[in-house]
Structures are given as C-alpha cells and as structure tokens.
Structure 1
Amino acid sequence: MHARATRGAAPALLAAALLLAATAAGCTGGPPRDTAKASSAGASPLERAALADGDLPDYRVSAARRAGAVAGQPTADTARCQPLADIMGDRPGPAALTTVNRGLGSRRAPALALSASLSAYDPGDARRLLAALRTAVADCAAGFTARVQGRSGRFSDVAAVPYGTGGDETVSWTATGTARGLRAPLHLVVIREGGTVLRFMALDLGGRGTHPRVPRPVVERQLSKLRATLPAG
C-alpha cells in the first residue's frame, strides 16, 4: 500500500477503529487546520500544560478534531478489556475530571500519526486507572472488539512493551487495529504523574506492518512542560 493510498484511507480506518490518533491524522500531509497555540488568555492550567505548536520543532501540534472522527467512549466486547477501549476514547476513562487532547504531525515521518492528552484525576483514581490498564494488557493478549456510535474495530496482538519515562508509573503496550479490511499497528503509553494522566498514541499509516513507537522527545517535552506548569503534579 503506497503512502498516498494509505493516507486517503486513514480517516475511515481511524474513525472505525476508534483511535484517538484520528486527531493526529489531521496534522499529517499538510498544515494543521487548528494549530494549538502556545498560550491563550483564560486558558485552564491543563490547557497551558498541554503541548502547543512550537514546543517541538519536528512536529506540528493541533487541537482540532479531524472531520469524520468518532467522538465518545468505546465499549469493549468483554469487560476485562474495557480499560483498553476506554483509553482510545475522548478521555482515558470515566473517572477523568477534564481532558485536553492534542494531535501531532511529524515533519520527518508523515506516515506517523501521533496523539497526546493530559487528564486531571483524583490521585486515587489515577492510580486505579494505571493498575486496571496493566491488568487489561495482560488479560487481553488475544484481542478484543470495541464499538462506538455504530462503528467497530478489532484490536489484536496486545502486548506489553518496556518504555521508561521517569513518571510516577507507566504502562506501555502495542496492538494492531483492524477495521473495514485495513490494518494499522499502534503503540500506546500511559503515564501517571501525581493526579495527572498523560496518554500518548502512535499509529503507523504507512502500511509497513511494524509497530511504531511513541517518540521519546514528545513524551519528554510533555512531561517537562507539565512539571513546569503544574509543579505539584
């Protein structure tokens, strides 16, 4: 599958597969439609802590949702995998108090779609989220199906992968999303920093079949900006 065909099919795949990286896909192949500005009057602390255009020289950062992306929280076909479905929704889980989402387009690797988000949690709920994700990754290796607003996607080959971040705790895993006959390997990283949950997703739109990795500069920049903006975590 060549790059142009893959990018053209991406919106249908991302929407049907319930991937938050649909936001990131809006940043690939051209300028973002709604660039996330570095600061704005009246922005919440979480908004100020989120990545903005200019924070990372090799990436465009957008706050826009791509046209056709599915909003809401997906439902898994089995309860034990629901945390993995939740993490691909508008927010990482039902206990999130507020969430700020960003899409990132790589200037060097246009087939790599990335998303990042910050969510405010009660610290106990944040710890429970990471524990639930750790258990779900182990229990759902055989895969699961998720559905939202009448669209569904299958996630297979779920596997934990090491990914050190320096956060309070981290869960990292890869999977393969399939929808409408198209397949996309992905990598997710979820970090707890105090009562804030950072969520990152990398999706390969290039048809190479290999699992991408969330770029470390993106994670490191978001963590450092969060700590500088909300030093108490």
Structure 2
Amino acid sequence: MGLWAGLAATTLLLAGCGGGGGDDDAGAPADSPPTSERPSAPPETTTPSSDAPTSEPPPTGVAPASDINLDEVILKPGDLAEFQITESPGDDRDTPPTKAGPATCQPVENLRLDAYTATPSATARRFALATTGDYRGTGTTITLAAFTATDAEKIMSDLRSAVAKCANGYEGGALTFTEVRELTPVPVGDEAVSFHLSGRATPTSYTLVRQGSILIRLSSAVGTGGEAEVPQPVVVQQVMKIQAAAARTAS
C-alpha cells in the first residue's frame, strides 16, 4: 500500500490509549564536497594539551531534544487529511510498568505501557483515527518522549534485543501474551523497531522510532479485534515534522 494513498477512518475502540501506564493503546545531512586542493606542506604535529576537551562536539545540523518543543512538533488536526487527530485519552497518567516474566521481555512490556526505564525530560501524546482508505478503522496512539542521546539509544537497543528473545510471548502482570512477532519498520528516522503483540482481546502493533534523542512510540489496533498495521503515513509525517524542527533550530 502506498505511503500517502488513501488512508482514513471510521470509529474504533482501543483497549487503553496513551499515557505512560495502563493497558495497550490502541535526512541524512548532505555529505561535504571533496576538496581538490592539497596543502603545500604537511601540517605540524602537535601534542594535545591535557586541558583539551576529550569529547567531540555534537554534529552540526542536529538540534538537541531539549531545544525542540514536543507539543509543537507532534501531529495535529489537519496534518493528515485522512486521519482525525485528537488529544490522547489518559495523557496525564504516569503508572509504573508491571513486571514481565521472563525479565528479558521487560523492554517489550515497558513499551506496551508507554513507560521507560529512563525518565524523559518531556512528553507529548496524540491519538490518530483513520477515517477512510487502507487503514480505515485503525486507531493509533502517538507518544513523543525526549531523552539524552545515551538513554534514547539504550532504550532502542534493549527493545530490539527483547523483541528477538521473546518471540514466544511473555507474562506481563496479570496478562499473558502468546506472541511477539517482529515486523519490518518503515525506513525513517535514525533507527526503528516494530513488532506485533498477540494474546489478548485487542491485538496491537507497535513501532518505536528514534530521531536524534527523541523517541516516537506508535501503537495501533482496530476495534474489530483484527490485526492492525501502524499506518505508514502517520509514522512518516511525524518523523518529518521532528526533522524539520531540528533543522530550523540548528540553523
């Protein structure tokens, strides 16, 4: 199905939308041109001072997450014509995640509940309901969460490892999930992980994208109980809004 072709919406019931705990919710920078000139003499070799900084400066053209207002870059009504975008129910909740068994599956349970091992510096949430087209009836909860670069990369790495190890399911609190099926994510952002979670009344698909140090969590389900796909246009448009904001802030 095309990235932008007719997407859209009817109604939908999702078991537990949004917010940090509870049930499931339903550019690369241009390369520098090669330099043809060569120095007339080799540069002098110097011994670095012990006072010199040891860490490299952040790459140019990339704004830190702290400089981006998540409320301004999260999808809003009108950003996608075929989707009804509203405030996410339960946005004010912040419930600790339940424990997963085996413990190696904890990152999957954390993502299911929109909870994180590190505390984000800011969050923003929305709900997108497809009203027509290929994704009609699919409801998607969107969470943006800002972290340090180290924390964002670790969350992605831990989730990727857990998805691979928990294919046969796991126990999440009082719930039993029978399958964690890895999916191919939309190729956007710096990296992404996608999977489908089965074992309860509302099967749900999840995608987590890292754009810089901002994590974009999307969970999709349909009220009929069938298997839903995270709508590609929602993923792409959300990532593009963050990329555009980062470019403006860094310029």
TM-score calculated relative to the size of structure 1: 0.73
Distance in 2 (alpha carbons) for counterparts of 1:153 and 1:70: 20
- The one of 130, 144, 156 equivalent to 2:170 is 144
Structure 2 unaligned segments of length 5 or more: list them: 1-10, 27-67
Aligned-residue offset at 1:110: 5.3
Give deviations 1:94-126, integer Å, cap 9, x for gaps: 332222111111112553221111110100111
Structure 1 residues 10-29: aligned runs within 5 Å: 10=13, 13-14=15-16, 18-21=23-26
Aligned-residue offset at 1:14: 3.4
Distance in 2 (alpha carbons) for counterparts of 1:176 and 1:156: 6
Per the alignment, residue 228 of structure 2 pairs with 212
Per the alignment, residue 72 of structure 1 pairs with 95
Per the alignment, residue 133 of structure 1 pairs with 159
Root-mean-square deviation over aligned CA pairs:
2.7
Give deviations 1:29-84, integer Å, cap 9, x for gaps: xxxxxxxxxxxxxxx711101111111111111124169x9752321233211111
CA contact (8 A) 1:61 1:104 kept: yes
Structure 1 residues 46-85: aligned runs within 5 Å: 46-65=70-89, 72-75=95-98, 76-85=100-109
Per the alignment, residue 119 of structure 1 pairs with 145
Give deviations 1:186-231, integer Å, cap 9, x for gaps: 21111111111111111122133xx321111111110111112233
SS for the counterpart of 2:109 is helix
SS for the counterpart of 1:230 is helix
Query: Runs ≥4 in structure 1, deviation > 4 angstroms?
Result: none
Per the alignment, residue 226 of structure 1 pairs with 242
Percent identical across equivalent pairs?
26
SS for the counterpart of 1:163 is coil
Structure 1 unaligned segments of length 5 or more: list them: 1-5, 22-43
TM-score calculated relative to the size of structure 2: 0.68
Q: Identify which of structures 1 and 2 has the higher relative contact order when contacts are C-alpha pairs closer than 8 Å and 6+ apart.
A: 2
Alignment size in residue pairs? 192
Considering fraction of residues, name the structure with more strand.
1
- The one of 95, 105, 108 equivalent to 2:129 is 105
SS for the counterpart of 1:164 is coil
CA contact (8 A) 2:160 2:193 kept: yes
